[in-house]
Amino acid sequence: MLPDLSSPFSCFAVLRGIWMRLLSLVLVLFLGMGLSACDAAVKPPRAVVKEALAMQIQLTQTSIASSLDLEPSGSAEVGRVRVEQVESIPVGADQIVRLTGHFDWQLPEDRVRMDSPFELYLEQGDQGQSWRLAQPVGSEDGMAQDWVTYPLAIEAS
């Protein structure tokens, strides 16, 4: 249905409607760009993710080996990493970054390369220059989640 243009003020109503739609579109675009910029700021570098995955495998191997009274095998080689989701989790005054995805890895004595899903928690250092592997553990009071963190040794590139 076409607007009634017989009144001199109906033209202003049509222009006002177009202006409001255009303004709404611009605001949505700016809001979307702002949110994606915040998301990119918390994503750790790929070298950090690879080091954290290798450490998580090593911690798991050590835990299993000690339970079975065995010697832990050598460290795993982490290959291709595909991060599918990144989200921030508030923990007190800090933020923990949760990453999920898939990665390729191989044990030193094994010729088979595995493709496995992963869930990884990382905590960024106070000055934003370091990262720590974070693992959830039970809490003393049963109400809050406690975390154990391990520093990651990242070589300068």
Could you report the per-residue pLDDT of 10-30, keeping only the tens digit for each? 555 666 666 566 555 545 545
Q: Average of pLDDT values for 44-71?
A: 91
114 vs 36, more confident: 114
Query: Does 2 share its domain with 53?
Result: no
Query: Does 25 share its domain with 53?
Result: no
Q: Which two tokens stand for residue 16?
A: 């006002």
Domain presence at residue 115: yes
Query: Does 24 share its domain with 87?
Result: no
What per-residue confidence (pLDDT) applies to 20? Answer: 60
156 vs 76, more confident: 76
Which tens digit of pLDDT belongs to each residue from 114-130?
Answer: 899 999 999 998 877 78
- CA 104, CA 95: separation in Å to the nearest integer? 27
Query: Does 112 share its domain with 71?
Result: yes
- CA 133, CA 150: separation in Å to the nearest integer? 5
Residue 53's alpha-carbon distances to 19, 105, 140, 154, in angstroms, are: 51, 9, 27, 13
Which tens digit of pLDDT belongs to each residue from 65-115?
Answer: 889 988 877 788 999 999 999 999 888 778 899 999 999 998 888 888 989
| 2 strand-pairing partners | none
What per-residue confidence (pLDDT) applies to 75? Answer: 81
Residue 67: give the domain boundaries: 44-151
Q: Is the predicted pLDDT of residue 2 greater than 90, yes or no?
A: no
Collapsing DSSP to helix, strand or coil, 120 comes out as strand
Q: Could you tell me which of 62, 88, 90, 92 has the C-alpha nearest to residue 74?
A: 62
Query: Does 75 share its domain with 112?
Result: yes
Q: Average of pLDDT values for 146-153?
A: 89
